[in-house]
Structure 1
Amino acid sequence: MSILIIILFIIIIIFFCSLNIRIRNLEKEIAKIRAEQSENPKDEIIDLSDRQLQPLGEDISEIEINPTEVTDIEKESKINISPVLEFLRQNALAIAGIFTLVLGIGYFVKYAIDKNWIGEVSRAGIGFAAGSGIIGIGHFLRKNYTVFASIITGGGIAVLYFTTTIAFREYHLFSQSTAFSVTCFVTLVSIFLSYYYKSEILIVFSLFGGFLAPLMISSGHGNYPFLFTYITVINIGMLVIAFLKQWKSIGWIAFIFTSIYLFYWTVAKTDITAVYFYVLSYIIFYAFALQNYFTKKKLLPTDILMLVLINFISIIGTVFIFKELQYDPVIVFPLVFALLNGFLLYRKHPEKKLGTAHSIFSGITVSLITAAFALEFSTHLITTVWAIEATLLLFIWKKTGLRVFRIFFYILFSLVIIAQIMTWVEYIDAKNLNIIFNPVFLTSSVTVFTTFINLILLRKTAEKTAAENSFFENFFAVVSYSVIYIALLLEIIYHISEKPLIIIFSTGMLFSLYYIFIILLFRRKLEIGQILETGLLYSFFSLLILNSTIAGSGLITDMIINKIEMNNYFIYGLYLIPLLYTFIKILPQSDFFKIWFSYWLLIAVIVTTVSMEALHLYTLLFAENINEMEKLQEYFTLLHLPIIWAILASFFIYKGLKTNAHEYGKAGFALLGITIIKLYFYDVWKMDNVSRIIAFIILGIILLLSSFLFQRLKNIVTTMVEKKDAKDQANIK
């Protein structure tokens, strides 16, 4: 078996050498063609072949880009991933090859170990030798095959990292400090090679290895100060290279790894020492984000996003530590960060033209100050910070027009809702919370305030007419108003939770009606769309039916059983104010009646409200106890209710004829039919003789009067139509 492997290896080497000779001959021919092209620049065919034969690994820094195109790309904020896909397409074989080679070396070493060919020290030596050899191959290929050489070198660095890890964890060949020193040395060498080769790909490999090295050699006993001293050194080196080479990817890789490590330390072992590293990381990554601002006087979308994230991640970490360790004041870091951004805003303010940078610094400063005051009142940290950060992202999107911030806003706002729901759950077990000034409601207040600001920022503009935008805006508006509604309702219910259930329900219904009514009242200023306005009206009228049938009836029953005074009923009756105002002012100015079903819903509200309130008053005036209440309600249903329905049906029929709104007439006749059916098939069998006579006489009179009015109005309408036709004919003649 071993002989076959050696033979196969020799064949591969011979084949590679032969192929390499052919490639060199081809390169000589290409060089000859290029020389001929330089003498004959007008030959388009040679020029085309030259372009086609350029090496795939050519350094992209030599490609010239039109600055106007870059500006257009920045304005449109389209995240173009085609260069990444192109890189993967062109270098997929190289990446797969180096990965396969590393695995092959690993399997060979494992096979040698299983056969007891080599000892533990030799195993580690083979790993270090293989890694160094691969790096050497990458070094010799760097001039003509830059990208390929970077991938090869990155694979060699990976072999060195894994060899060090295995030598420490599995074979215990050296101590943790020695292993850490080796990984540090590998990281420094790889960073130096990245800078020397001018290869961003290689430094990405180096950063991944540098940040994963502590996990590779970890012994389970966390020495966090030492770990973050090491990470800070890496971040400083990253910052220097980022400024020298303008490589943005390395800053984001370092930021993500650093944030994960810091949060893990903060949660696993809350220590005041972590605050110092939060501050150091804040300074490093803030300088990284402001690199283009200081050098080119502009902020790219990634720079703005970094500014937002580093501010709020640092706030979450430092405030959490202060709260856990009970240090004061918790607002010191939000205010310090706000002061820094305020200084940048002050430097930008004297300029006559206030651009994107001014908006970004002002938005971050205001957001940090808002977060500071909210946290001072003991609001929940995550919910508060996320809510303010979401609003800041929306503000940035409105100012810059960069869609990436809109996407992040919708993602973060979804997380805000989840965090807020978890905050509301605390009402269940909370005891003796102060009215308004309690952590749960104060946190909800921050969410409510930021949500209201979001609604203002998302007002429709002339540019946003697409159906997709309208859908998202309507959906977001519904969610936002629902968040505000639930936050206020839960606070009210918590403080009346000791009251009877019917009192809680009726109070919730009254609040719900007034909440929708206030939105409808200010619908123009809030720029509520037609669809949302119609939905609110439907919700308002549906709640009115529930309020009259369930809340009102339950409240009357509770009042009679417990001998409660009329005050509760008067409070319950306050719903009539928004009801009447909606009928008189809001409905005539809305598009509610564009749907035929709207007439029937409105008629159902009128019939239910009039019937139930007449029943409530009748019961309150004459009932002394629960037994009398049941008898009076049955008597009212049999005698008075048909009369009320007949009067309302006549009114609807008259309304339909007068306004040409045929749905009123249809509903009137339907209600009249229900009244007659109820009278003949149910009521007469329950009434005594006197009640039956009274009901039939009164109902008969009402029906006759209604018929008379109907016929008279019909004749009037017919006469008016005939006169109009005659007048039109005369004008024609």
Structure 2
Amino acid sequence: MNEYLAVILIVVIAIIFNNLNTKIRKLEKEVSDLTLRINKKTIHPEHPQEETPSEEIIIQPQESVHEPHREVITPHESKENTQRDWLNPVFEFLKQNILTVIGIFTLVLGIGYFVKYAIDKNWIGETTRAGIGLCTGTAIILAGHFLRKNYQTFASIITGGGIAVLYFTTTITFREYHLFSQNTAFIITSVITAVAIILSYYYRSEVLIIFSLIGGFTAPLMISSGENNYLFLFTYLTLLNIGMLAVAFLKHWKSVGWTAYIFTSIYLFYWTVDLPELLSIVFYLINYIIFYIFALYHYFRKNELSVPDILMLALVNFSSIIGLTYIFNELQYEPVIIFPLIFASVNSILLFREYGKRNFGIPFSIFTGITISLITIAVALQFKTHLITSVWAIEATLLLFIWKKTSHKIFKTCFYVLFPLVILAQFITWCEYFNASNLSIIFNPIFLTSLVTIVSIGINLYLLKNTSEKTETGTHSFFEDLITTASYGVIYAAILFEIIYHINTMTWIAIASVALLYSIYYIFILLFFRKKLSIPQFLQTGLIYVFFSLIIVNISITTSSVVTDILSKQLQNNFYLLHFLQWIPFIFLSLKIIPDTKFHQSKISYWVISLAFIISISCELRHLYVMTSAHDIVDSYAVKNHFNILYLPIIWTILASIFIYIGLRKNIQEYNKVGFGLIGLMVLKLYGYDVWQMDNISRISAFIALGVILLLSSFTFQRLKNIIKNMVDTKEKNKKNEES
């Protein structure tokens, strides 16, 4: 009963569709006739109207009012619009034909479910099943053939669905029913692919040939028996790519080449990882030639390179380098730099061709960038750097360089995608420090890889600085700021890990001390050259805060532990001199660099500087006192306690006086608050704790010294206030005299 209902439903749908199709054809004819009549009236008006002067007076203002604003579009703006809308045809195709694609996919699934139902009911045998599938696919192709004149795109999708049915039928017949051998199945799929390509060329349908190529490239997977017969597979793929190249040249279809390149690359990389052998090198080179010719087709015809052409050139070169170099490394052949140099030579020929014509446009820049990148990769590989990290770093820089030369934003977008992968690959490279032993200084594979990344990042920062895009608020874009910050972080980490590796035999506190000192100088160098490096303002402010935080941690915690290790004879006495180097950037930054930045826009900045200065001076003097007075660790505890009780209040009082003096002199209220707050803290400490720990002599000495300091400070402040008051009064008198 259900079967009869299904048949009746199909017949009803067919009748309805036929009626709708007839009405649509009539409507199309009426619209066509109406359009033709309108065009005739526009070209040959039957009754031209005579315009009166009054009509002119009325019409002209209306035309001027309602006339749309015409913007003058420069060639540059037109080019940018073209670049921005290069994906529009794809989205437009999907928008207009998505229902057709879903419909043919649903139809194929429906046929499949019907056949499965028939099989479950034992209505048909295996041979009949295969025949039904082949006939159904052929019928769908014929339906597309008859519809191609009026509905070309729809017919192409229909035909592609029919080809898919033929592919799947052949696959199931071979795998499940075993009605013919693998060779027969391969011949059938090859014939289907050839017929599909011929139909695509005959119908002039780019959509259909993409369906055909997808079927052609997936056919080996469909009829695979599990054996790795790569020679047979890639001979077939090479012939398929040659056919693709011929069709692409005849019809100028870019999507055909990209489809073939993606599938071929997947197959090649799988072969390379699964079974690296010399035979695969031959097919790498063959496919390099095929796709390089494909990428340069328009260049030799029109002497120009489009966005897809440039992307193809970059990807073909770098993907081939990765695969070929991996094979050489796995098979331990030398020299690994032969392929980068060969590819660089190929690109250099095109480079000199452009140079000979004195044509220094986009093609010249592209060939220059690719050639230099390949030579750089060859040098990096010669020094045994890590392949993926080096290639990705150089390729990211090449993409950014191409974006600068062509202004095609797709290359900058690709750079944004690839740059995080470069950082990830670099982190994986750094992890090898944990298992490495006896690495030479600088000239080791890990750091040389980092050096390649550092150089490429330096070029990236230079290119971003000179092609910086700003937002409406005048600030850099988010991605540029993020990449800038990450770039400086990668450079910092690369040098830091190399230093730590070579001093890892020292005590942990010595390693931490060296690492902190390096960090302080690294930040200082960035801030010193902040203008030349075009470091964003937010990053400058952040670096200053980090700088003072590192100063506080280093001198209060790390240096204290260093003193302890020196007293316990774990470190030499001269190691203590190392941390004195931090005072050079500390003083220079405070006096020269910070006044030239916007760091003091926030009031908390004054407190951060004051805190760093107070802690640094206090801890430094305590370390010196302990180093000169204590003989061992046990003795150091009493020395530290004596310093904290007797000398620290005096130091804080002097520092408080200095802050208050600077605050009054420069009219900075925050320094006044710091000074008086420090005096309050000192008084609480003195009367709440220190007095009860001192002997009589020390107590008397402390009170006398503090009293004298406070009196002198008070006298100085009073004099300073009077001087300032006299200066203000003098200015007011002069102003009044000038007015009178």
Taking structure 1 as the reference length, the TM-score comes to 0.93
**Distance in 2 between the 1:723 and 1:12 partners?**
103
Distance 1:324 1:462, change over 3 A: closer
CA–CA distance in structure 1, aligned partners of residues 35 and 638 of structure 2: 109
Distance 1:709 1:22, change over 3 A: closer
Indicate yes or no: 2:607 matched with 1:600. yes
Counterpart in the other structure of 2:577: 570
Question: What is the deviation of 1:563?
Answer: 6.8
The letter of the residue matching 1:232 is T
Unaligned 5+ segments in structure 2 are: 46-72
CA distance 1:29–1:610, shift in 2 (3 Å): closer
Residue 501 (1) aligns with residue 505 (2): no
Which residue number in structure 2 is paired with residue 64 of structure 1? none
Matched with 2:705 is 698
Query: How many angstroms does 1:487 deviate by?
Result: 0.5
- The answer to whether 1:464 aligns with 2:497 is no
Shift of 1:688: 1.5
Partner amino acid, structure 1, of 2:312:
M
- Mapped partners of 1:514, 1:70: distance in 2: 45
Q: Contact 2:389/2:449 (CA < 8 Å) preserved in 1?
A: yes
Q: How does 1:190-229 map to 2 (within 5 A)?
A: 190-229=196-235
Residue 420 of structure 2 corresponds to residue 425 of structure 1:
no
Displacement of 1:620 after TM fit? Answer: 0.9
Question: Aligned partners of 1:190 and 1:464: how far apart in 2?
Answer: 50
Correspondence for 1:439: 445
> Among residues 442, 448, 456, which one is paired with 2:454 in the alignment?
448
Structure 1 CA distance for aligned equivalents of residues 128 and 657 of structure 2: 104
Question: Identity of paired residues, percent?
Answer: 57
Identify the residue that residue 54 of structure 2 maps to in structure 1: none
Pick from 271, 283, 291: which aligns with 1:285?
Answer: 291
Match of residue 634, structure 2, among 622, 627, 641: 627
Deviations 1:690-720 (A, max 9, x none): 1111111111111111111111111111111
Give 1:12 deviation, angstroms: 4.0
Which residue matches 2:120? 114
Kept in 2: contact 1:560–1:626 (CA 8 A): yes
**RMSD after superposition:** 2.1
Instruction: Give distance in 1, aligned partners of 2:113 and 2:596.
Output: 79
Within the alignment, does 1:128 sit opposite 2:134 as a pair? Answer: yes
Residue deviations 1:144-188 (CA, integer Å, cap 9, x gap): 221111111111101100000000011011111111111000000
Once the two structures are superposed, residues 240-286 of structure 1 have per-residue CA deviations (whole angstroms, 9 ceiling, x without a partner) of 11111111111111111111111111111112211111111111111
Tell me how far apart the structure 1 counterparts of residues 27 and 82 of structure 2 sit (CA, whole Å).
44
CA contact (8 A) 2:663 2:672 kept: yes
Task: Give the C-alpha shift of residue 496 in structure 1.
Answer: 0.8
CA distance in 2, matches of 1:369, 1:695: 72
Distance 1:682 1:248 in 2: 83
Q: Using the alignment, how far apart are the partners of 2:505 and 2:486 within structure 1?
A: 30
Q: CA deviation at 1:315?
A: 0.5
Q: Are 2:261 and 1:245 equivalent residues in the alignment?
A: no
Check the 8 A contact 2:164/2:215 in 1, yes or no: yes
Is contact 1:160–1:186 with CA below 8 Å preserved after alignment? yes
Deviations along 1:464-511, one digit per CA (max 9) or x if unpaired, are 354563433332221111100101001110111111111101110111
Partner residue of 1:326? 332
* Residue 677, structure 1, aligned to residue 680, structure 2: no
Inter-partner Cα distance in structure 2 for 1:131 and 1:473 = 52
Instruction: Write the deviation string for residues 631-667 of structure 1: whole angstroms up to 9, x where unpaired.
Output: 0000000000110110111111111111112221111
Q: In the alignment, what sits opposite 2:49? A: none
Tell me the equivalent position of 2:372: 366
Matches within 5 A, 1:291-690: 291-459=297-465, 464=470, 466-467=472-473, 469-562=476-569, 564-690=571-697
Q: Displacement of 1:584 after TM fit?
A: 3.3
Count of residues in Structure 1 that have an aligned counterpart in Structure 2: 711
Following the alignment from structure 2 to structure 1, what is the Cα–Cα distance between the partners of residues 548 and 30? 85
Code of the aligned partner of 1:141: L
Cα distance change on mapping 1:143 and 1:650 into 2, 3 Å: same
Q: For the residues of structure 2 that align with 1:502 and 1:643, how far apart are their CA atoms?
A: 30
Matched, 1:712 2:728: no
Q: 1:532 to 1:331 in 2, by over 3 A?
A: same
1:719–1:165 distance in 2 versus 1, CA, 3 Å: same
Q: How far is the alpha carbon of 1:294 from its aligned partner?
A: 1.1
Task: Give the match for residue 233 of structure 1.
Answer: 239
Conserved? CA contact 1:642–1:679, under 8 Å: yes
Counterparts of 1:68 and 1:231, CA distance in 2: 46
Residue 279 of structure 2, aligned match among 259, 273, 286: 273
Distance 1:68 1:273, change over 3 A: farther
Which stretch of the first structure deviates more once superposed, 578-587 or 610-619? 578-587
Q: Given the superposition, is the C-alpha separation of residues 94 and 565 from structure 1 closer, same or farther in structure 2, using an over 3 Å criterion?
A: closer
Q: Distance in 1 between matches of 2:172 and 2:495?
A: 58
Q: 1:10 to 1:659 in 2, by over 3 A?
A: closer
C-alpha displacement of 1:82: 3.7
Contact 1:263 1:317 in 2 (8 A): yes
User: In structure 2, do the counterparts of structure 1 residues 158 and 730 end up closer, same or farther at CA, with 3 Å as the change threshold?
Assistant: same
Equivalent-residue separation in structure 1 for 2:35 and 2:722 (angstroms)? 101
The answer on whether the counterparts of 1:150 and 1:202 sit within 8 Å (CA) in structure 2 is: yes
Query: Which amino acid in the other structure matches residue 491 of structure 1?
Result: E
Contact 1:37-1:43 at 8 Å conserved across structures: no
CA distance in 2, matches of 1:499, 1:635: 31
Structure 1 position 298, deviation (Å): 1.0
Inter-CA distance 466–320: structure 2 relative to 1 (3 Å threshold): farther
Q: Retained in 2: the 8 A contact 1:653–1:665?
A: yes
- Cα distance, 1:353 vs. partner? 4.4
The amino acid across from 2:479 in the alignment is F
> Which amino acid is 2:517 matched to?
L
- What is the deviation of 1:138? 1.1
In structure 2, how many angstroms separate the alpha carbons of the residues matched to 1:371 and 1:505?
35
Q: Secondary structure at the match of 2:356?
A: coil
Say if 1:75 and 1:402, in contact at 8 Å, map to a contact too.
Answer: no
Partners of 2:33 and 2:660 in 1: CA distance: 99
- Whole-angstrom distance in 2 between the partners of 1:295 and 1:223: 39
* Contact map agreement 2:520 2:550 (CA 8 A) in 1: yes
Unaligned runs of 5+ in 1: 45-66
Kept after mapping to 2: 8 A contact 1:74/1:300: no
Distance in 2, Cα, partners of 1:448 & 1:572: 27
**1:623 counterpart letter in structure 2:** A
> Deviation per CA, 1:501-551, whole angstroms, max 9, x where unpaired?
111011101111111112222222212233222222222111111111112
> Contact (CA 8 Å) 2:469, 2:477: kept in 1 or not?
no
Mapped pair 1:150 → 2:162? no
Comparing 513-522 with 23-32, which one deviates more in the overlay?
23-32
Distance 1:412 1:149 in 2: 39
**Contact 1:76/1:402, CA 8 A, preserved across alignment:** no
Provide the secondary structure at the position in 1 that maps to 2:506.
coil
Task: Return the offset for 1:31.
Answer: 6.1
Change in CA separation of 1:688 and 1:563 when aligned onto 2, cut-off 3 Å: farther
Q: Decide whether aligned partners of structure 1 residues 28 and 586 sit closer, same or farther in structure 2, where only a CA change above 3 A counts.
A: closer
Structure 1 residues 31 and 582: alpha-carbon distance in aligned structure 2, compared to 1, 3 A threshold: closer
